[in-house]
Amino acid sequence: MDNRIDTTFARLAERRHKALMPYITAGYPDLDATAKLLVEMPKAGASVIELGFPYSDPIADGPVIQESFTRALAAGLLVGDIFETVRKVRQDVQAPIVAMLSFSIVYRIGVETFLTRAAEAGFDGLIVPDLSLEEAPDIAGQASAAGLRLVMLAAPTSSPDRFRRIAEISQGFVYYIAVAGTTGERDKLPDDLAENVRRLREIGGKPVCVGFGVSRPEHVRQVCQVADGAIVGSAIVRRVTEAVDGKATTSTLVDGVTDFVRQLATGLP
């Protein structure tokens, strides 16, 4: 079954290009802004969009994204609202959309039901940071049957065996966590980045994208010298928060975020 993630990375590889993957929090500051960002970010250079599902107990999210979750949930955001928003804009968004969420949300709704609804809404894959490695193969199989891809996360602290299993199970691409800890902006990226990315790609034969700590065009450039894509989250969400706190209009907020995505894209080779 064709999947936008697979076709996007195949096209990028053919052209020797790399992926820029911005992250935004669904429903933050509201669903209208989410819809407009989903449509506009690919025009600014985003190859794939990661859409976070707010959750009351963040897993690996730093304070910037945690605050966005708190505000979105306080406004009454529901999972069904996220599905409906993606469904409404899907025909206007050619880039793959990947859900980033806690397995608690999937489990509460029911794995089969969640995957079916996500696929029908127009999602292309999901990243589930708290999914156990033991449960992952079964979920990956169900995701694939629904036309989705289950993206696994590997960390610098992963054991060699865990590294191997993650690389083999992951679908679409592997999400490599550049630095141990929570998401957030950092001044420099670690020295072992290139070697760990090389190992993951060699084992799994899949694209490897790097996130956590990537926040500037020079980071994107550094990451894309060794990986297949760069993921930027906290730096984008922080700009959303600054726009909200500054009482910016939705139009101004969207323009500011897409301008930043355009800046980040200058780091792509």
168 is catalytic: no
Closest CA to 224 of 262, 260, 189, 259: 189
Alpha-carbon distance of 269 to 138, in angstroms, equals 37
3-state secondary structure (DSSP) of residue 209: strand
Angle at alpha carbon of residue 144, lines to 141 and 147, rounded to 5°: 155
Q: Which one is catalytic: 61, 92, 187, 202?
A: 61
Query: How far is C-alpha 117 from the geometric centre of its chain's CA atoms?
Result: 19
Q: Which one is catalytic: 6, 50, 124, 228?
A: 50
The structure tokens listed for 137 are 């193969």
Question: Residue holding tokens 């708190």?
Answer: 70
Q: Which residues pair with 100 in a beta bridge?
A: 52, 127
* DSSP letter, residue 213: B
| Amino acid occupying residue 250 | T
Conformation bin of residue 188: beta by default, left when phi > 0, alpha when psi is -120 to 50: beta
* DSSP letter, residue 232: E
202 is catalytic: no
Catalytic site positions: 50, 61
